[in-house]
Structure 1
Amino acid sequence: MGATLRALRALVLLCGFYLLSLVLLAALAALDAAAFGWAPAAVAGKIAIVSLLLAVPIVRGMVMLRTPKGEGPAGIVVTEADEPRLWALVRELAAATGTAAPDTIVLTGDVNAAVSEEPRLLGLRPGPRRLYLGVPLLTGLTEARLRAVLAHEYGHFTGGDTRLSALVVRGRAQIGRTVGHFHAKADSKEAAERARQQQTAARRTAKGRKAKEIDTAGAGFTYRMMAAVYTAYAKLYMRATLSTARAQEYAADLAAARIAGRDATASALREIPVLAAAHGFYLESYATLGLPARRLPPRGQFFGGFGRMLTARAAELARLREKLPTQPASPYDSHPPIADRVARVEELPADGRGAEDGGPALALLTDPARTLAALEDEVLTDEVRQFERAPGWEPLLDSSMAVGLANLDTPLHRALAFHTQALPTLPALLTVIDEGQLWQLAQRLPLSEEAAAAKAEEFRERVRPVLRDSLQSMVLAEFSARSLLHWEFSWSRPAAARLPGSASDLDGEAGTEAALGAAVDAALADHPDTAPLRALLPPAPQPA
């Protein structure tokens, strides 16, 4: 089947999505008519109410299938006057691919580039077009690779079946969005019902009456039932359009290779999944590091630190580029495996256009530092933007780790609290050890079946690693509470703890500080001795 016929089939199936809704509404109307014609009035009224409840999500689904105007990721809208070099590149590539340049460029905070339209007549008529371009993508790509990425995006709109092929992609996204809305509505109904029942239970308890068990099984039932019907149809649509969507990705790759170069395109395909993984790690480990302490990195560094991490971890990222995914993300993923796409591009003749041509893509921006700062204002929530700005990354790390250690809650903490029926503090744990009850306490830890069944020496060997990690954390928390602990920040490896007067780190590659390690080992020995550990601990503050 040719591309045009496959796209036409997708159009028919998309129209069938609306037809399915109309058929369901007609069936409900027929049921109501039969009920009022043959059933008693009371029964007919109940059937009509149920039909109405079922009809509401169906009608909502038909409305949901339309893409809301202006929907898209948050970001900065930049004009040609703001970013002349970026706009010049975008217009050049649009002309080279034979498609219209976007009407708007939006700089976003994710690792992505996408072109969207606000289509008319189910996408048969074009509408205003937007280019969403992630600043982290610009941070990690060279200009040559960025050209390949943009040429790929525009490649989705080339060829004789341009409009219908684009419709396939839009249809897949819109149907998935519709099903998602049904589930979201059902979850909302369930949450509201749970809150109502909890309030009722609280009132009954306050009056000394027994509260009923919370039961939300029926909440959102009509929405979940409609979601099941539409999900079945969505799977049919996804399967029918999968070959079209993946063929379009291959065609867009070839367009990118023709315009931006074979090597640049293959390199960009290798780079995108690596950058996506690296950016997820950066957000979790660096950018949001201070959120528990309600602190943010210095202004502009929430996104700006990503480039510094990429530079520091260059060798690690190079190894990731050699491990390309060989399977699609899901059976319905419109993108073929990256390894297959790279192999197809690299089979093309060499053209002499390299992946390193043109320098870093971030340099296309007129003032990258200003853009990185302005992006925070658009992407971060109102609440987060009110957080205090740390003067640097090391103070941010120190405050974050201090909050984390102050709220430490390990399995050992929970077992100790149960064992002593008191606050789980380090002095309390040392007292338990001195009283010879350490291994009875260890019995209260979450244990594997093997550990729970082990006896004497074997049991101690199995639980000692867990005890060691938790005890060391409790020691660090004690130093932190006395403001005697410092954390060494690094872009290339995990943070390292520094005790007063220490020359080596506790958690980094150099290993644990010998004195603390020996003291912890002594406390957890078969015949425990807490004296070395007590000698290392800072004295408790004296009351004023």
Structure 2
Amino acid sequence: MKTTVRAVISVGLLAGFYLLAIALIGGLGWVSVWLFQEHPGVAAGKVAYLTIAVAAGLVVAFWKILRAKPGEPEGLPLTPAEAPGLWHAAGDLAQRVATRAPDEIRLIPDVNAAVAEHTRLLGLAGGRRIMYVGLPLLQAFTVAQLTSVLAHELGHYSGSHTRLGALAHRGRMAIVQTIVQVGPSSIAGFVFRTYARLYILVEQAVSRRMEYEADEFSVRIAGRAAAVSSMRDIPVIEAAWNFFVERYVTIGWDAKLAPQDVFGGFGMLLRGRAGELAALRDGAPPEERSRWDSHPPIADRIRAMQAMPDPGVTADERPATVLLADPATLAQRLQRAALNIEDKTLLPWDQLTDVSVAANAQRDVDALFRAAARLAGAAQGDLGLVLALVEQGRAADLARAAQPHGDPQEQRAALTALIAAAIAIATRGGGQGRWRHSWTGAAEFVGPDGRQPPIDEIARLATDPATAPEARRRLAGLGVDAAAVRQQSARATADGAEVVGGIANMNAPGKLHFDVLILTNGLLLIPGPKSTDDGKQRLLHLIRSAPLPELARQWRFLPFEDIAAAAIPKTTPIKVALTLHSGERLELAESWTGERLGRHDNDLLASALEPYVTTPAPTA
């Protein structure tokens, strides 16, 4: 089926949504009038109320849509002087695909390229065209590969694919806003949600067909080899970028630290891990597919490209950054304009890695020191106290505190790693070592001579009562005073934690109700309403509202390490009773009508509390 025909069906379905809404209101209105005439009473009043609610919801939704204005385009606008090659390529390619060139080119911090058109008259008349090009793509691609991608994007203009973009966006807004206003769990909300699924399925099918059509321009202009190469490389570059952001850019996020040169670092990572990236390219392209996808599977697109005639284009293997006048300066400007790092201290990569790893290690080591203090009844923990507890035969207790989940061998390994981190922190504090940055692997702790000191060996000695005294002597030989390696934080925080689940409307004694987020290192308790409606949406809104450390400061954060004992009388719906080291008791019970972030988050909570359970948890 041609794209134009599918588009007409999509627009028809959008019109059908409005007709459905009007018909639903009319039908409910007729039923309410009939009930008032024939069977006046509570039922008639409820139907009349529902009619008014649906009509009011529809009016409010339409009003919000009419008032909605397009947001400011993202990214950094590029002038022809700043990107002469890119502007020339866009103009030349536009002529070759028989379309009007973009009016604006913007640089964005994503592994992506896209086009948009601010049309008029619901897409009947063209408007201002904007092309978005991701700097990570420019850093990773050759000119030939980028040409393929740009030809694909301009092909969307040539096929008028962007004309219905505004209408489709308004359509989605109308459906979503209407469902929000009438209530997703209401009868009317169910009808609208069912129709919305049909609308989105057709819209996504139209989008997939458009991608195949734009790919034809990619092959015809840039050549089959460049088109296939760029298509195969995109998921590899995206994986590299995500790895880079997670392992390098945000390494010091919790300590309010960020790199001075984000995009320069990505270029170095691409070079440092070239072998790993080549191995990823050699793998099979992704085959995953879903009816809800807006793009076809990459494997399918590559097969379609390989079946197209090859125009025999000579590939331009220069790096795509040659299309920019001054890539380094533009990278810095994009970093300031598009990345949210204004509140952070910017450091060179070597210094950022050293300071960040040290801060993260201290946070982890503090958990061990707090556990040692609890076991010993001391006010504060330190490495000397840890060694003393090991010498007293309490290494297993420390290991369980270091790694509540896992078998004894895993717990012993976790204890060894934490002691090694504590020794490294002490050595660094004495100016005898640092964490060395690397683009090819994990950061390593090295001494002034660039070699690794025997920290791991000493840590292994420190976990055995028989060899702990030898560990003390070895530490003294390094100039490390074990008692001086102290706990820095009094209690755990949500820094570095992640959300793994959530249960809304959990009941607590005293008619209290909590929405509970399950984190990797504790529970976040947010006072919630008694009503169980829209609990999942509340949890999602909460997660998106602020970073976890900020939420943990605003509401009650209960670290798992503060739990002395737990009981789980029921698992479906889950009920837990917690006893904290402070002596406080806390009970939480899930409601039968409550909502969860995930289907099995009750099991997830039970699993998280399992190491603290003093009696076996029942089966559901």
TM-score range, shorter chain: 0.7 to 0.9
Q: Distance in 1 between matches of 2:349 and 2:201?
A: 48
Shift of 1:114: 0.7
Q: In the alignment, what sits opposite 1:510?
A: none
Show CA shifts across 1:430-465 (max 9, x none).
Answer: 11111111124434565558x3xxxxxxx4x45322
Distance, in Å, in 1 between the alignment partners of 2:140 and 2:69 is: 31
The runs of 5 or more residues in structure 1 that have no matched partner are: 186-219, 452-458, 505-512
Separation in 2, partners of 1:53, 1:424: 60
Using the alignment, how far apart are the partners of 1:295 and 1:242 within structure 2? 40
CA distance in 2, matches of 1:67, 1:318: 49
Q: Which amino acid aligns with 1:253?
A: D
1:397 equivalent to 2:357? Answer: no
Residue 489 of structure 2: aligned partner: none
- 2-structure distance, mates of 1:222, 1:131: 37
Equivalent residue for 2:313, pick from 353, 365, 371: 353
Q: What does residue 371 of structure 1 align with?
A: 330
Q: Which residue of 1 aligns with 2:13?
A: 13
8 Å CA contact retained: 1:18, 1:62: no
Conserved? CA contact 2:207–2:294, under 8 Å: yes
Aligned pairs (5 A) from 1:301-312? 301-312=261-272
1:519 pairs with one of 458, 479, 487: 458
User: What's the secondary structure of 1:271's corresponding residue?
Assistant: helix
Superposition RMSD on alpha carbons, in Å?
A: 3.6
Match of 2:416 in 1: 468
1:179 to partner: Cα distance = 6.4
Aligned letter for 1:119?
Answer: T
| Alpha-carbon contact 2:138-2:146 (below 8 Å) kept | yes
Which residue of structure 2 aligns with residue 491 of structure 1? 439
Is 1:297 the counterpart of 2:254? The answer is no
List per-residue Cα deviations over 1:71-96 (Å, max 9, x = no partner): 36521122335433321211111111
User: What do the CA deviations read for 1:182-203 (whole angstroms, capped 9, x no partner)?
Assistant: 89x7xxxxxxxxxxxxxxxxxx
2:106 is paired with a residue whose SS is: strand
Q: Given that residues 416 and 429 in structure 1 are in contact (C-alpha distance below 8 angstroms), is that contact kept between their aligned partners in structure 2?
A: yes
8 Å CA contact 2:232, 2:285 repeated in 1:
no
After superposition, the Cα gap between the structure-2 partners of 1:413 and 1:95, relative to the gap in structure 1 and judged at 3 Å, is: farther
Distance 1:541 1:369, change over 3 A: same
1:435 equivalent to 2:435? Answer no
- The within-5 A match list for 1:68-87 is 69-71=69-71, 74-87=74-87
1:98-144 per-residue CA deviation (whole Å, 9 max, x = no partner) reads: 12212221211111111112233443333222111112221111111
1:425 aligned partner, one-letter code: D
**Equivalent runs, 1:316-355 vs 2, <5 Å:** 316-328=276-288, 330-355=290-315
Aligned-residue offset at 1:326 = 3.2
Determine helix, strand or coil for the equivalent of 2:468: coil
Q: Distance in 2 between matches of 1:167 and 1:63?
A: 23
Q: C-alpha displacement at 1:270, in angstroms?
A: 1.0
Is this contact kept in 1: 2:391–2:465, CA < 8 A?
no
Q: State how far apart, in whole Å, the 1-side matches of 2:149 and 2:370 are.
A: 51
User: In 2, Cα distance between the equivalents of 1:241 and 1:43?
Assistant: 39
2: CA distance between counterparts of 1:243 and 1:500? 60
Whichever residue aligns with residue 153 of structure 1, its letter is E
Deviation at 1:338, TM superposition (A): 1.0
| Alpha-carbon spacing, 1:445–1:304, altered in 2? closer, same or farther (3 Å) | closer
For the structure 1 residues 66 and 327, does the alpha-carbon distance in structure 2 shift closer, same or farther, using more than 3 Å as the test? farther
Contact 2:390–2:465 (8 Å) recurs in 1: no
Q: State how far apart, in whole Å, the 2-side matches of 1:290 and 1:118 are.
A: 39
Which letter does structure 2 place at the counterpart of 1:343?
R
What letter matches 1:316 in structure 2?
E
2:119 is paired with a residue whose SS is: coil
Q: Which amino acid aligns with 1:474?
A: A
Worse-superposed segment, 317-326 or 224-233: 224-233
Amino acid at match of 1:478: A
1:407 partner SS: helix
How far 1:319 moved relative to its partner? Answer: 1.0
Question: Are the structure 2 counterparts of residues 373 and 28 from structure 1 closer, same or farther at C-alpha, using a change threshold of 3 Å?
Answer: farther
SS of the residue corresponding to residue 98 of structure 1 reads coil
Alpha-carbon distance in structure 1 between the residues aligned to 2:89 and 2:395:
67
Q: Which residue of 2 aligns with 1:155?
A: 155
1:39–1:273: structure 2 CA closer, same or farther, 3 Å change rule? same
SS at match of 2:15: helix
AA in 1 matched with 2:150: L
Provide, for residues 359-413 of structure 1, a one-character-per-residue CA deviation record: whole Å limited to 9, x for no partner.
Answer: 12112112222211211222133xx3243332x2111222212322232268745
| Alpha-carbon shift at residue 488 of structure 1 (Å) | 1.0
Greater Cα shift, 95-104 or 414-423: 414-423
Residues 481-500 of structure 1, C-alpha deviations (whole Å, 9 max, x = no match)? 44543111112221111145
1:160-239 equivalence runs, <5 A: 162-163=159-160, 166=162, 222=183, 225=186, 229-239=191-201
Name the amino acid aligned to 1:131.
M
Answering whether residue 475 of structure 2 is matched by residue 536 of structure 1, we say yes
Question: Distance between the aligned counterparts of 1:479 and 1:304, measured in 2?
Answer: 31
Shift of 1:31: 6.4
Tell me the number of residue pairs that the alignment of Structure 1 and Structure 2 aligns.
480
CA contact (8 A) 1:67 1:174 kept: no
1:145 match? 145
Higher helix share: 1
